Amino acid sequence: MAKPYFLRILLGFVLFFSVPAADGGSIHDLLRDHGLPAGLLPTAVSSYNLDQDTGVLEAHLDRPCYAKYDGLVFFNETVRGNLSFGGLRGLVGLSQEELFLWLPVKEILVDDPSSGVILFDMGVAHKQLSLSLFENPQDCSVGAGINGKGFIRMIREGFGRKAIGFLGG
């Protein structure tokens, strides 16, 4: 009789610790638990949902915003993708600026964490970046896009030519 009771407790304990903490753990911890850097999503994430059956992750931000990594990245108010170990696939709500064009990011992959490289698939282009750029979640700005005032503010805040490697930077 004691055996079934012990198995129930053990099963409950295993389930409690194996389910990602969608009820209070941060999304940044969830990303780390899935072999991805915590800084893939900004600090503006206010809540998230992870469907355990399908792996669909939906992150809700306070507002759409821009963050600076290697270049500018735009986050919609909702970012959605299929979360698996080492990857976010089928992404919606995330774009990256490349040569003055905004390209939707379709996949983010970390095939080998020891390589120190993360791959961004934008459909027509692939970009490999250093994982170290994404160690910590970034703050993001509402007006840091290509509109005049936000762009000027970014330059004043140090995101200008020198900060991104031009002019001996």
Looking at the whole model, is its pTM more than 0.75? Answer: no
Residue 6 lies in a domain: no
The two three-digit tokens of residue 69, written as one number: 């990594």
> What does the mean pLDDT of the chain come to?
78
Helices (H) and strands (E) in the chain, counts: 3, 9
Residue 163 lies in a domain: no
The alpha-helical segments, DSSP class H, found in the chain are 2-18, 27-33, 148-154
For 103-122, how does the pLDDT look when each residue is reduced to its tens digit (9 = 90+)? Answer: 999 999 999 988 999 999 99
Residue 91's CATH number: 2.30.240.10
Residue 3 lies in a domain: no
Residue 112 lies in a domain: yes
Enclosing domain of residue 74: 19-140
Out of 19-28, 68-77, 158-167, least confident range: 158-167
The two three-digit tokens of residue 142, written as one number: 């509402």
Residue 124 lies in a domain: yes
For 67-91, how does the pLDDT look when each residue is reduced to its tens digit (9 = 90+)? Answer: 998 889 999 999 999 999 999 999 9
Residue 149 lies in a domain: no
Domains: count for the chain: 1
pLDDT band, residue 152 (cuts 50/70/90): very low
- C-alpha of 87 from chain center: 10
Over range 132-151, report the average pLDDT. Answer: 72
pLDDT of residue 24: 53
Indicate the residue type of 123.
G
The CB density around residue 115, as the number of other CB atoms within 10 Å, is 12
